Structure 1
Amino acid sequence: MAGEAAIIELAAWLQTPPGRYLLAWEQAQMDAAVVDLFGFHALQLGLPELPGLRSNRMPHRWLALPRPESHFESHAQQRPVVALSAPGVALHCDFDSLPFESGSLDLVVLPHALELARDPHQTLREVERVLRPEGRLVILGLNPASLWGLRQNLASMLPGRPRPYLPQDGEFIGYWRLRDWLRLLSFEVEAAQFGCYRPPLRSAAWLARWDWVEPIGARWWPVLGAVYFIKAVKRVHGMRLVGLERSRSARRSSAPAVAVQQHKEQGP
C-alpha cells in the first residue's frame, strides 16, 4: 500500500502551485521529445496527470498504472493488453513485470515512475527488456541536488519537523546515479536537460516573481534544476559494428575495381 500512497501524494502535490509549475515544464519537454519519434508501439508508465504521449503519432499507445496491491496476480495470469487510441488507462500492471513481449516496444516514457517504483532497478531492467534495439526511453525525475531537494532534506532535520516541500514518499534518484544505471543496461544517453530553477516557494505569486531566474540558472548552474529530463536509446552490442563492417567491406571490394580500371586506361 506504500506505493499507492506515494502515487496519491504525488498526484495531490501536482495540484499545488509548485506542482503545476513543475508539470508545465515537464509537459513542454516531453511533447518536444516524443513528437518526432516514429514506430508502432509506445508505453507510458504512471502519472496520468502528464499525458506524455499526446504529441506522439505511433498507432499503438498505452498508459499503464500500477495495479492495486489487493489485485496482484502472477505474470502468467495477466490479461492480454489492449491499446487505446483515445487518452485513458489501457492497463493496470506491475511495473517490474510488464505484460509485453521482449523487444516489442519502440518508445517508453517514465515520468517519475522510477522514484515511485517498489524496485527501481527491476523496473528499469523490465523497460530494457521490452524495448526493441534502438528503442527510445524518456525519463523525468526530481533532482535531489537542487534547492528543492535541499529544502526537503532540511525539513527532515529541523526541530519540529516542518511540512516537507516535496512529496515525502518515494526515492529521489540522483541524475549521475541514474546515468550509471542506464550505462550498465547498455543505454546511451542522447540528451539531458535540467529545469525549474525558481526557489522552493509555495505561493503562485512568489513563484511568478522569480521567473527571471530561469535563464540565469539554465546558463550558470544548469545541473541544479529541480527536475531532470533524460532521453536515451537502447544499444545492442554488435549491431552498429555489423553496419560498419559492411561499409568497410564495400569500400575494400570497390577499391581494386577502380585500380584495375585506371591501369587499363593508362595502357597502350
Structure 2
Amino acid sequence: MDSAASEKSIIALDDWLQTPAGAYVRAWEQACLDELTADIFGYNAVQIGLPQIDALAASRMPNKWQAAMRTSSHEQVALGAGKRQIAVALDFAELPFASQSLDLVVMPHVLEFAAEPHQVLREVERVLIPEGQLIICGFNPASLWGLRQGLRRVTRSAYLPVAGEFISMPRMKDWLKLLNLGVSRSHFGCYAPPCRTAQWIERYAFMEPAGQRWWPYLGAVYMVHAIKRVKGMTMIGPAWNKKSATAPQAVPATNRK
C-alpha cells in the first residue's frame, strides 16, 4: 500500500466510523482506553490518528498531544483542538518528536491503514522512553466481522473499509516482540454480529458479556498494551537495601586499633 492509498483508506475509515457499527466500536474503545490510560503515569503522551476518539481523556499526564495526518480535514483538526494540543505529523512513519521523549503513545487503527506499518512501529519505539507504554487498537480478523469481511467477494459488499490490512493478535505480538515492546495486557470487545443498523446492534447487546466469558478472543476489536523494554537495564532499589542484605562481618577485637 503506497502513501496515497494509505491516506485514502484512512479517510474511508473516518466515514465508516460515522455508521452505527462505527459508533459501537468507538464507544467500546473509548471506555477501554479511559480505563487503561487512567493508571499510566508520566509527563508526555501522544495520540496518533483517529481524532473521533479522545484516547487521552482520562490520562492525568500534564502534556497531551494529537498527531494528525497532513490530509486531516479542518473539521477533524478542530475536533481534536477542542480537547488537547495539536501536533501535526506530516507522516506517521517520521514522527516529529525527539528520541526517548514520550511516556505514552496511543495508536487507534493506524497500523492497519499505514503504508509502512513496520516503520511506524519503529518510530514509536524510538520516541518512547525506556519503560514507556504503547496502546494499539485494531480490528480482529479472527471474528465474525473478520469472517464477514473475508466473504466480501461472495456478498459483493464489504462491512469494513476494504483498503485496511487487518492484523491478527499473534502477528501483532510478534511485531512488537521484535522491537522489544513486551505485551503487558490485551483486551477484546464488540462481540455483536456484523449488523448495519443501531437497532440490530442493540438487540445483540447480550453477546458482550457472553463473549467476554465464553469466546473472549473472538471480539471484533482488540486492544494491545505494550511496554518498551531496554536490554541491559536492571531496576535496582535504594543503596541501603543492598547494604542491609549483606551485613558487614565483625572485625575481631584483637585486630581493632
Supply the distance in 2 between the matched residues of 1:98 and 1:39 (Cα, whole angstroms).
Answer: 19
- Percent same amino acid among aligned pairs? 51
Would you say the 8 A contact 1:59–1:85 is kept in 2? Answer: no
- Looking at structure 2, the residues matched to 102 and 92 of structure 1 have their Cα atoms a distance apart, in angstroms, of 15
Contact residue 66 and residue 95 of structure 1 kept, 8 A: yes
Q: Do the aligned residues in 1 keep the contact of 2:89 with 2:95 (CA within 8 Å)? A: no
Q: Give the distance between the partners of 2:187 and 2:97, measured in 1 at CA.
A: 30
Q: Distance in 2 between matches of 1:179 and 1:186?
A: 10
User: How far 1:17 moved relative to its partner?
Assistant: 0.8
Structure 2 distance, partners of 1:110, 1:57, is: 18
8 Å contact kept, 1:194–1:225 = yes
- Checking the alignment, whether the CA contact within 8 Å between 1:64 and 1:93 is kept in structure 2 is no
Aligned mate of 1:126, from 123, 126, 129 = 123
2:56 maps to 1:42:
no
Deviation at 1:92, TM superposition (A): 3.0
Residue matched to 1:93: 90
User: Which position in structure 2 is the counterpart of 1:5?
Assistant: 8
1:25 aligns with 2:9: no
Distance 1:85 1:107 in 2: 21
Residue in structure 2 matching 1:107, options 101, 104, 111: 104
Cα RMSD for the two superposed structures: 2.4
Q: Pick from 55, 59, 64 the counterpart of residue 61 of structure 1.
A: 64
Residue 250 of structure 1: CA displacement?
A: 3.8
Question: Which residue is equivalent to 2:172?
Answer: 178
What amino acid is the match of 2:109? H
* Preserved contact between residue 195 and residue 227 of structure 1 (Cα < 8 Å): yes
The answer to whether residue 230 in structure 2 is matched with residue 236 in structure 1 is: yes
Tell me the number of residue pairs that the alignment of Structure 1 and Structure 2 aligns.
Answer: 242
Judge conservation of contact 1:62–1:91 (CA < 8 Å) in 2.
no
Q: CA deviation at 1:232?
A: 1.0
Q: Is the contact made by 1:60 and 1:85 (CA closer than 8 Å) also made in structure 2?
A: no
1:203 to 186, 197, 206: 197
Aligned to 2:187: 193
Report what 1:80 is aligned to. Answer: none
Letter in 1 for 2:226: A
Q: Is the 8 A contact 2:187 2:223 kept in 1?
A: yes
Asked whether the 8 Å contact 1:115–1:173 carries over to 2, the reply is: yes
| Preserved CA contact (<8 Å) 1:194 1:229 | yes
1-structure distance, mates of 2:83, 2:94 = 25
Cα displacement string for residues 191-211 of structure 1 (whole angstroms, at most 9, x for unaligned residues): 111101111111111111111
- Is this contact kept in 2: 1:40–1:106, CA < 8 A? yes
For 1:67, what is the secondary structure of its paired residue?
coil
Residue 136 of structure 1, aligned match among 133, 136, 143: 133
| CA deviation after TM superposition for structure 1 residue 128, in Å | 0.3
Kindly state the Cα deviation for residue 86 of structure 1 after the two structures are TM-superposed.
Answer: 4.3
In structure 2, the CA distance between the partners of 1:102 and 1:247, relative to structure 1 (3 Å rule), is farther
Shift of 1:100: 1.1
Q: Which runs of 5+ in 2 are unaligned?
A: 73-80
> What amino acid sits opposite 2:5 in the alignment?
A
Tell me the CA shift for residue 251 of structure 1.
5.4
TM-score, normalised to structure 1, is 0.84
CA 1:172/1:247 → structure 2, altered by over 3 Å: closer, same or farther? farther
* CA distance in 1 between partners of 2:71 and 2:192 (Å): 35
Unmatched 5+ stretches in structure 1: 70-83
Residue in 2 aligned with 1:220? 214
